[in-house]
């Protein structure tokens, strides 16, 4: 009787190895797909989007303050020289340059929205501000401007088309 048991096929463990192999392949494929999805430079999530949604009323109030101030920002991105430059011309409703403001810019190319860059600009003359800025690619960019002078705070969002050597605002 023991001879019959010894002659029985030993494939009883082979199906376990097959199941483990299939599950392992599935897990490895999932990790690979997650890596591909997370490594895509054209995909980005808005930073603090949930917090921004909770404070949407603050965003609307800031838009009202912007309208009352009447300030206008005219940003440009220059890709002609490495690393590039960001310029912002800031004026009030009458066209008078806004001087002595702290101006910050955050911008990213639309095609690579994960490549967010930020800078605090230095004042030049006549309401102009500038700073070195990593403009690595041409194409559509989103530029967010924040200007603070005393108690006044102004924000604006712009879409720019950056050609290989300069910029045109839309």
* Domain carrying residue 34: 2-38
Same domain, 76 and 146: yes
Model pLDDT, residue 28: 96
Same domain, 12 and 32: yes
Same domain, 53 and 19: no
Distance in angstroms between the alpha carbons of the first and the last residue of the chain:
89
Same domain, 129 and 110: yes
Q: How many CB atoms lie within 10 A of CB 58?
A: 10
Model pLDDT, residue 169: 44
Number of domains the chain is built from: 2
Report how far residue 67's alpha carbon sits from residue 53's, in angstroms, rounded to the nearest whole number: 21
Confidence of residue 32 (pLDDT cuts 50, 70, 90): very high
Same domain, 19 and 82: no
- 58-87: average pLDDT: 90
Same domain, 87 and 109: yes
Which has the higher per-residue pLDDT, 10 or 23? 23
CATH number assigned to the domain comprising residue 150: 2.60.40.10
Same domain, 33 and 114: no
Residue 76 in any domain: the answer is yes
Phi and psi at residue 86, to the nearest 5°: -115, 135
pLDDT of 130 above 80: yes
Same domain, 84 and 165: yes
Model pLDDT, residue 136: 81
Residues 73-125: tens digit of each pLDDT: 999 998 877 788 999 999 999 999 999 999 999 999 988 888 889 999 999 98
């Amino acid at each position: 009787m023991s001879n019959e048991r010894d002659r029985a096929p030993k494939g009883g463990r082979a199906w376990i190895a097959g199941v483990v192999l299939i599950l392992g392949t599935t897990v490895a494929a999932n990790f690979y797909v997650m890596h591909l999805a997370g490594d895509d430079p054209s995909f980005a999530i808005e930073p603090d989007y949930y917090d921004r949604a909770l404070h949407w009323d603050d965003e609307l109030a800031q838009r009202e303050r912007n309208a009352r101030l009447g300030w206008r920002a005219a940003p440009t991105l220059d890709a002609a020289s490495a690393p590039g430059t960001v310029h912002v011309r800031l004026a009030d409703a009458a066209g008078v340059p806004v001087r002595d403001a702290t101006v910050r810019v955050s911008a990213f190319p639309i095609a690579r929205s994960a490549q967010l860059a930020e800078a605090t600009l230095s004042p030049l003359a006549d309401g102009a501000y500038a700073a070195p800025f990593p403009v690595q690619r041409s194409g559509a960019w989103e530029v967010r401007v924040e200007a603070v002078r005393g108690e006044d705070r102004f924000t604006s969002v712009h879409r720019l088309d950056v050609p290989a050597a300069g910029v045109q605002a839309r």
